[in-house]
């Protein structure tokens, strides 16, 4: 427990690598990529954005992953009010193909084709599941505060055999814009569902938003730290092979989050504080 807590605290901070930024449009795909300054056969993750958002709203999170040695890229497509979930899933696949198919930077950065993951937030969290279900080279999937998709991410998740990380807010029931329990419960492979205390579903989104000045819908520093730490550990263990993060990538107990059994009756699950539940509902 002490070791995992210490590692979790370390992973809230930037890693040891200098970070470079690249434009995926140069390879024909609108989007952005962040890489460590150098390295061959690196692990990589393609990240899907939430509804009516874009890659720029996650730039610091992508930089954070790159600082820990993970190439992190995000397509900047399907940003309108009527996005195609299939289209964004296909773009995640294109991003993976670009990262594995070309040398990045000045030619001294490469991605290992067997060290790939997909991740996403909100709509993008479910889209990441769709993308993983369509490929055989994805080794891990992280779904951050997932929202429903068409086609169904739950049906796609049932066929997955790779490890999954599902992070949710403090609420306990699914809704029109939250399928956390359903997605985690449907996962075919090994998975971990964590509820982040005092988190709202959009707490990791970066940049100014309309209602932020009155305290609604703003970036939550505690949520950002928790999510970045858990996501980084999950990827470092499952696609980078760094074994010291095994417990942190699993179901170890950690302050600030609770591991939930998605198959257990809601009344048997540990309850959030009234404040945590209220913040989660406001953030929807």
Instruction: Report in angstroms the alpha-carbon separations of 81 from 50, 153, 195, 240, 283.
Output: 11, 19, 28, 36, 19
Tokens representing residue 154 in the block:
């739950």
Contact (Cβ atoms closer than 8 angstroms) between residue 75 and residue 28: no
Residues paired with 48 in a beta bridge: 120
Q: What are phi and psi of 33, to 5 degrees?
A: -135, 135
Q: What is the CATH number of the domain that holds 20?
A: 3.40.50.1820
Question: For residue 281, what pLDDT is reported?
Answer: 45
Cβ-Cβ contacts under 8 Å for 105 (sequence gap 6 or more): 20, 22, 35, 37, 38
Q: What is the pTM of this model?
A: 0.90
What DSSP character marks residue 33? Answer: E
Only one residue has tokens 């170890």, namely: 252
Number of domains in the chain: 1
Burial string for 79-117 (b: 16+ CB within 10 Å, else e) reads beeebebbebbbbbbbbbbbbbeeebbeeebbbbeebbb
**pLDDT tens profile 199-245:** 888 999 998 654 444 344 578 999 999 999 999 999 999 999 999 99
Residue 179: CB atoms within 10 Å: 25
Cβ-Cβ contacts under 8 Å for 186 (sequence gap 6 or more): 154, 155, 157, 158
Q: Inter-axis angle of helices 2-10 and 221-238, to 10 degrees?
A: 110
| DSSP of 192-234 | EEEEETT--TTTT--S--TTGGGTSS---HHHHHHHHHHHHHH
Contact (Cβ atoms closer than 8 angstroms) between residue 224 and residue 204: yes
pLDDT per residue, tens digit, the chain (284 aa), is 458 899 999 999 999 999 999 999 999 999 999 999 999 999 999 999 999 999 999 999 999 999 999 999 999 999 999 999 999 999 999 999 999 998 887 778 999 999 999 999 999 999 999 999 999 999 999 999 999 999 999 999 999 999 999 999 877 666 778 899 999 999 999 999 999 998 888 999 998 654 444 344 578 999 999 999 999 999 999 999 999 999 999 999 999 999 999 888 765 555 554 444 444 444 44
Residues paired with 164 in a beta bridge: 141, 191
**pLDDT tens profile 245-277:** 999 999 999 999 999 998 887 655 555 544 444
Which residues constitute the domain of residue 256? 1-283
d(CA 49, CA 52): 8
Greatest Cα pair distance, the chain, in angstroms, is 55
């Amino acid at each position: 427990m002490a070791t995992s807590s210490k590692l979790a605290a370390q992973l809230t901070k930037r890693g040891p690598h200098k970070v470079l930024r690249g434009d995926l449009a140069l390879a024909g795909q609108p989007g952005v990529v962040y890489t460590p300054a150098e390295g061959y056969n690196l692990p990589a993750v393609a990240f899907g954005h939430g509804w009516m958002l874009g890659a720029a709203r996650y730039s610091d999170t992508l930089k954070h992953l790159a600082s820990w040695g993970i190439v992190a890229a995000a397509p900047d497509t399907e940003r309108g009010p009527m996005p195609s979930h299939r289209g964004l899933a296909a773009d995640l696949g294109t991003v993976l193909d670009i990262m594995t198919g070309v040398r990045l930077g000045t030619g001294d950065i490469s991605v290992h084709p067997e060290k790939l993951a997909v991740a996403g937030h909100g709509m993008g969290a479910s889209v990441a599941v769709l993308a993983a279900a369509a490929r055989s080279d994805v080794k891990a999937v992280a779904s951050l505060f997932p929202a429903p998709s068409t086609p169904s991410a739950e049906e796609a998740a049932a066929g997955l055999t790779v490890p999954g990380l599902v992070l949710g807010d403090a609420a306990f029931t699914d809704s029109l814009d939250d399928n956390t329990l359903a997605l985690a419960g449907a996962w075919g492979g090994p998975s971990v569902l964590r509820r982040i205390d005092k988190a709202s579903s959009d707490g990791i989104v970066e940049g100014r938003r309309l209602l932020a000045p009155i305290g609604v819908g703003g970036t939550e520093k505690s949520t950002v730290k928790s999510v970045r730490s858990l996501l980084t550990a999950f990827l470092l263990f499952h696609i980078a092979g760094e074994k010291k993060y095994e417990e942190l990538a699993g179901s170890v107990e950690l302050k600030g989050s609770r591991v939930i059994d998605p198959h257990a009756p809601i009344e048997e699950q540990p309850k959030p504080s009234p404040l945590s539940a209220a913040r989660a509902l406001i953030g929807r």
